[in-house]
């Protein structure tokens, strides 16, 4: 099923990133991985899109900033994630 494009900025060594990716995978969602390791330009892009957020992961559904791992888990626990990713970008 198609859904709003999801971007996840991460570092592969980060346990919060692993947890967030695991949830996206479990839900069968497609997502684009943006590895900021050693990439200052990509990191700066992430911080700008995340309105100053400097920790990884930072997760987006279309233009909407979902937050980090904790926020993603909270959206899922509240039953809100499906509606967000299946609404227009």
Residues in contact with ligand GSH by the rule CB under 6 A: 14-16, 54-57, 68-70
| DSSP-assigned beta bridge partners for residue 65 | 60
Task: Name residue, tokens 């590895």.
Answer: 35
Choice between 1 and 78, CB closer to ligand GSH: 78
Nearer to ligand GSH, 77 or 88 (CB): 77
Q: How far is the CB of 72 from ligand GSH (least distance, A)?
A: 8
Strand duo 6-10 + 32-35: pairing: parallel
* Residue 56 C-beta: closest distance to ligand GSH, Å: 4
Angle at 47 between CA 45 and CA 48, to 5 degrees: 65
Helix (H) or strand (E) holding 44: helix 40-49
Q: Which lies closer to ligand GSH via its Cβ, residue 1 or residue 52?
A: 52
Minimum CB separation of residue 2 from ligand GSH in Å reads 26
3, 84 in Cβ contact below 8 A? no
């Amino acid at each position: 099923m198609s859904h709003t494009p999801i971007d996840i900025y991460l570092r592969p060594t980060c346990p919060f990133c692993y947890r967030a990716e695991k949830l996206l995978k479990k839900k069968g969602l497609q997502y684009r991985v943006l590895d900021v390791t050693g990439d200052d330009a990509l990191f700066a892009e992430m911080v700008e899109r995340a309105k100053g957020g400097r920790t990884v992961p930072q997760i987006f559904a279309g233009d909407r900033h979902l937050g980090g791992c904790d926020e993603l888990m909270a959206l899922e626990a509240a039953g809100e994630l499906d509606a967000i990713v299946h609404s227009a970008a």
